[in-house]
Amino acid sequence: MATQRKVIITCAVTGAIHTPSMSPHLPVTPEEIAEAAISAAEAGASILHLHARDPETGKPTQDPAVFEKFLPRIKEATDAVINLTTGGSPHMTVEERMRPAIEFKPELASMNMGSMNFGLFPMLDRFATFEHDWERAHLENSRDLVFKNTFADIEKTMTLGGQNGTRFECECYDIGHLYSLRHLMDRGIISGRVFVQSVFGILGGIGPHPEDVLHMRRTADRLFGDDYAWSVLGAGSSQMRLAAQSAAMGGHVRVGLEDSLWLGPGRLAESNASQVRKVREILEGLSFAVATPDEARDMLQLKGADKVGF
C-alpha cells in the first residue's frame, strides 16, 4: 500500500504587507499574535511564520522586546516550528531586520533571495480610509522603493544564522532568485536540504498564473534536483488555488493573514486558523496528509525546539 504523502502547512500569522485598517481580524498586539499563532497550530499548521507589530500603532517592528512578549507563550502552548522573519518591512535596514532571528536563534528564519521592487501602492485603490497616519504613507512610498536584499546582505544573515543552527525559508519572488540561491549553495553559504518558498502575486515579482508556478517548479527542479523542499505562497486571491496547485505538484503550502486577508471572494478571513482549516480541507480532499511539526522538522533538517534561544 502506498504511503500517504505529507504536506507542510506554513501559516504566516501577521506581516508588513497589510495594515491594521484593512481588516479587523489582523493580529496586532503580542496577545493577539500569540492567540492567532496557537489557534493556527491547533488547526494544523506545521510552521508558524512570525512578524511583530507595535501594539499601539500596529506598525511593523523588529524590536526583540516585542517578540519576547509572544514567543515563549507560543512555544509553551504548541510544538509547531517557529519561523522568524528577517524580511521585516521593506522600509527597515538589513541590520534592523536581522535582530530577532539573531537574538532568538529560531529553528527557521525567512530570507528574501534578492532585491526587488515591492509594490504595495495598488492597495490604495481598494481602501479609502486608514486608522493610522503611517498606513497610507507605508503603501504610497512603495512606488519608489527597492526592497534591498543584496548578496552581501544575504551572506551576512545566513552566515550569522547558520552559526546558531538556524535554517532558512528561502523566499523566491522570481526566477532569478532561484539562480541566486543556487550560487549561494555552490559557494557553501547555505548547505543541506534547502526550503524554497516560491512567492507569487507581489507586484514586482513573478505573477500568479498557473504557468508561472510551473516555470518556477521546473527551474527549481533543474537547479536543485531532489535536494530541496518546495512550497508555494500565493498572495491575495491566488492563495488557495495556488496552494492546491503546489500540493498537486508535490509541494508544500503557505497561508496566513500576512499573505491574504481573504477566505473567499468578498469574504474576509476571521482568523489565521480559518485559512489553515480551509487549506487542510483542500489537501485532504486531494488525499494528502498534513505533516506534523516533527515531520516538518525531519523533512527540513531542523535542529529542534529545544535548541532555540527563547
Per-residue model confidence as pLDDT tens digits over 120-150: 999 999 998 999 999 999 999 999 999 999 9
Q: What is the average per-residue pLDDT within 92-111?
A: 96
Question: So where are the chain's domains?
Answer: 6-307
Q: Which residues contact 167 (CB under 8 A, 6 or more apart)?
A: 107, 108, 109, 161, 192, 195, 300, 301, 302, 303
Tell me the C-alpha distance between 257 and 12, whole Å: 6
Q: Are 129 and 104 in contact (CB under 8 A)?
A: no
User: What is the average pLDDT value for the chain, to the nearest integer?
Assistant: 97
Share of the chain above pLDDT 70, in %: 99
Residue-wise DSSP of 66-84: HHTTTHHHHHHH--PEEEE
What are the CA-CA distances from residue 39 to residues 21, 23, 71, 272 (Å)?
22, 18, 14, 8
pLDDT in tens, 37-85: 999 999 999 999 999 999 999 999 999 999 999 999 999 999 999 999 9
Q: Which amino acid is at 159?
A: T
The reported pLDDT for the residue numbered 2 is 66
pLDDT in tens, 97-106: 999 999 999 9
pLDDT band at 1, cuts 50/70/90?
low
Model-level pTM?
A: 0.97
Considering the four listed CATH numbers 3.20.20.70, 3.30.470.10, 3.30.565.10, 2.60.40.3080, the one that applies to the domain covering 6-307 is 3.20.20.70
- What is the distance, to the nearest Å, from the Cα of residue 306 to the centroid of all Cα atoms in its chain? 22
